[in-house]
Amino acid sequence: MSDGSGELKDKVRALRAEFDREIKAVRDSSALQALRDRYVGRKAGAVTALMKTLGALTAEARRQAGQDLNRLKDEVEQALETAKASLESNLKEGRLARERVDITLPGRIPPYGRRHPLTAAREDLEDIFLAMGYEIFDGPEVEDDYHCFEALNMPPDHPARDMQDTFYLAEGGLLLRTHTSSGQIRYMLNNPHPPDVRIICPGKVYRRDDDITHSPMFQQIEGLVVGKGITLGDLKGTIEAFLHALFGAQFPVRFRPSYFPYTEPSVEVDLGCVVCGGKGCRVCKQTGWLEIMGSGMVHPAVFEAVNARLGRVVYDPEEVTGFAFGLGIERVAMVRHGIDNIRLFYESDLRFLEQFPG
């Protein structure tokens, strides 16, 4: 009568041969884990299942079969560990090959950030006026009616207020400044060297206006010079020197009578078209001239408003005079680069911004 040990030996032999064949086909860690579970898994492993059949054998047969099964289990686990090490080594070599750096290759130059064209224009404007001896004054963007309008000869019923189209805040009688001229009033009220003034006021301003040449938020730079003996000739000389420094002496400058409530007389300033050289083109509307800025002699009413707030006469219109000027920084950039849509500056389109030099 058979004790069953021979049948078990055949199963062990067949299982070893099957395992040897399958482990040669393993190509990745997931397949290796599946093979481990199928042969030596605790619940459904083939070797584990054979171990559970030992109880049906005689004591002598059980001893011999147990040795065979333990030997098979050890061989399977050793083969699995060897295969695991081989797979990990291959993966590491593959990763090193993919990540290998050829130190003989030329370096890759990373892209560099650059100044926004409006920032570059503002800095160029500031540099020119700093070289002329001007001081930069930065006023608040949230203003009150006095500094933005009343002190600049624009009382509540003045029609020039309609031109500003102001953003008013809900409470406190505050507003978003419509021009940086409000900074000129603040400086004169706190002037450390009265009555002499020589400042520029760059910054953001806000108006209810939005089209291809206007934006609800844009940037201005305004200047103020006050002192004894300041004349319209000084204004013209300063503006000509400034525009020639900015655009080049080859472009002529002309002055036209105009009106601003805080200057008298007032003049508009035109620059010979930088695109066509004065021949006439689409940018200058075939005139050969570009309207670039406004200016004028400080209105005596502005000095009187500041004196009234100070409670004493510091800027006597009979003793001191001054001139003021202002221009949009976007306007300068548009003229400089031949751009006809102001919105391009604020759309953050890298295809547009990368066209400008760093």
- What is the domain partition of the chain in residue ranges? 5-99, 117-353
What six digits make up the tokens of 248? 């080049």
Angle at CA 257, nearest 5°, toward 255 and 263? 105
Residue type, 209: D
Does the pTM surpass 0.75? The reply is no
117-353: CATH superfamily: Bira Bifunctional Protein; Domain 2 (3.30.930.10)
Residue 216 DSSP code: S
How far separated are the first and last CA of the chain, in Å rounded? 97
pLDDT at 199: 98
Q: Tokens 């062990």: give the residue.
A: 12
Residue type, 54: L
- SS3 call for 159: coil
pLDDT at 1: 36
Instruction: Average pLDDT across each block of 10 residues of the chain; the chain has 358 residues. List them in order.
Output: 63 82 84 82 76 72 76 83 85 80 83 88 96 96 94 86 79 89 96 96 91 86 97 97 95 95 96 89 88 96 97 96 96 88 91 83
pLDDT at 259: 94
